[in-house]
Protein backbone atom coordinates (compact mmCIF):
# COMPACT_ATOMS: atom_id res chain seq x y z
CA UNK A 1 0.00 0.00 0.00
CA UNK A 2 2.83 2.39 0.85
CA UNK A 3 4.45 1.71 -2.53
CA UNK A 4 1.23 2.69 -4.35
CA UNK A 5 0.92 5.88 -2.29
CA UNK A 6 4.56 6.75 -2.98
CA UNK A 7 4.09 6.09 -6.69
CA UNK A 8 0.98 8.28 -6.80
CA UNK A 9 2.84 11.05 -4.97
CA UNK A 10 5.79 10.91 -7.39
CA UNK A 11 3.45 10.96 -10.39
CA UNK A 12 1.60 13.95 -8.92
CA UNK A 13 4.88 15.87 -8.50
CA UNK A 14 5.95 15.02 -12.06
CA UNK A 15 2.56 16.17 -13.39
CA UNK A 16 2.79 19.41 -11.40
CA UNK A 17 6.31 20.13 -12.73
CA UNK A 18 5.15 19.44 -16.31
CA UNK A 19 2.18 21.79 -15.94
CA UNK A 20 4.34 24.59 -14.51
CA UNK A 21 6.88 24.16 -17.34
CA UNK A 22 4.12 24.25 -19.97
CA UNK A 23 2.59 27.40 -18.44
CA UNK A 24 5.99 29.13 -18.30
CA UNK A 25 6.68 28.20 -21.94
CA UNK A 26 3.29 29.53 -23.05
CA UNK A 27 3.87 32.80 -21.19
CA UNK A 28 7.29 33.21 -22.82
CA UNK A 29 5.81 32.59 -26.28
CA UNK A 30 3.06 35.17 -25.66
CA UNK A 31 5.64 37.73 -24.53
CA UNK A 32 7.82 37.05 -27.60
CA UNK A 33 4.79 37.38 -29.89
CA UNK A 34 3.84 40.68 -28.23
CA UNK A 35 7.39 42.06 -28.57
CA UNK A 36 7.62 40.91 -32.18
CA UNK A 37 4.32 42.59 -33.02
CA UNK A 38 5.58 45.84 -31.48
CA UNK A 39 8.84 45.73 -33.47
CA UNK A 40 9.35 48.32 -36.20
CA UNK A 41 11.72 48.68 -39.14
CA UNK A 42 14.24 51.49 -38.59
CA UNK A 43 17.26 52.92 -40.34
CA UNK A 44 20.46 51.92 -38.54
CA UNK A 45 24.14 52.64 -39.13
CA UNK A 46 27.38 51.64 -37.46
CA UNK A 47 31.11 51.25 -38.07
CA UNK A 48 32.47 47.73 -38.51
CA UNK A 49 36.07 46.83 -39.36
CA UNK A 50 36.87 50.15 -41.00
CA UNK A 51 33.60 50.36 -42.91
CA UNK A 52 30.37 52.25 -42.42
CA UNK A 53 27.36 49.96 -42.62
CA UNK A 54 23.88 51.39 -43.26
CA UNK A 55 21.00 48.99 -42.71
CA UNK A 56 17.30 48.75 -42.23
CA UNK A 57 16.61 46.72 -39.07
CA UNK A 58 13.50 45.22 -37.49
CA UNK A 59 13.94 46.49 -33.93
CA UNK A 60 11.98 45.70 -30.78
CA UNK A 61 10.99 48.56 -28.44
CA UNK A 62 13.86 47.59 -26.12
CA UNK A 63 16.36 48.08 -28.97
CA UNK A 64 17.02 44.41 -29.72
CA UNK A 65 17.47 43.78 -33.46
CA UNK A 66 15.40 40.87 -34.76
CA UNK A 67 16.36 41.10 -38.43
CA UNK A 68 18.68 43.33 -40.43
CA UNK A 69 19.25 44.02 -44.13
CA UNK A 70 22.34 45.88 -45.35
CA UNK A 71 21.55 48.80 -47.66
CA UNK A 72 25.19 49.84 -48.26
CA UNK A 73 28.66 49.23 -46.88
CA UNK A 74 31.61 51.47 -47.72
CA UNK A 75 35.08 52.29 -46.35
CA UNK A 76 35.25 54.92 -43.61
CA UNK A 77 37.89 56.79 -45.63
CA UNK A 78 35.88 56.85 -48.88
CA UNK A 79 36.26 60.18 -50.71
CA UNK A 80 32.49 60.18 -51.33
CA UNK A 81 31.65 59.08 -47.78
CA UNK A 82 29.15 61.83 -46.98
CA UNK A 83 27.24 61.44 -50.26
CA UNK A 84 27.18 57.64 -49.99
CA UNK A 85 26.04 57.84 -46.37
CA UNK A 86 23.22 60.28 -47.11
CA UNK A 87 22.07 58.25 -50.12
CA UNK A 88 22.15 54.97 -48.17
CA UNK A 89 20.39 56.56 -45.20
CA UNK A 90 17.62 57.89 -47.45
CA UNK A 91 17.19 54.45 -49.05
CA UNK A 92 17.08 52.74 -45.63
CA UNK A 93 14.44 55.18 -44.38
CA UNK A 94 12.39 54.61 -47.55
CA UNK A 95 12.57 50.84 -47.09
CA UNK A 96 11.66 51.10 -43.40
CA UNK A 97 8.62 53.21 -44.26
CA UNK A 98 7.34 50.64 -46.76
CA UNK A 99 8.15 47.63 -44.56
CA UNK A 100 6.33 49.22 -41.60
CA UNK A 101 3.22 49.65 -43.76
CA UNK A 102 2.75 45.87 -43.55
CA UNK A 103 3.26 45.69 -39.76
CA UNK A 104 0.28 45.53 -37.38
CA UNK A 105 -0.81 48.72 -35.61
CA UNK A 106 0.58 49.28 -32.12
CA UNK A 107 -2.23 49.63 -29.60
CA UNK A 108 -1.61 51.64 -26.45
pLDDT digits (tens, 9 = 90+) for 56-72: 999 999 999 999 999 99
pTM above 0.75, yes or no: no
Residues of the chain with pLDDT under 50: none
Angle (nearest 5°) at CA 75 between 71 and 78: 110
Concatenated DSSP letters for 76-107?
Answer: TT-TTHHHHHHHHHHHHHHHHHHHHHTSPPPP
Which residues partner with 81 through β-bridges? Answer: none
pLDDT given at position 3: 79
Amino acid sequence: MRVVALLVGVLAVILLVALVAAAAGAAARRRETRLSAAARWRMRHYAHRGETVVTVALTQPDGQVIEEHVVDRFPDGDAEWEQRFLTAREEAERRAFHLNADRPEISG
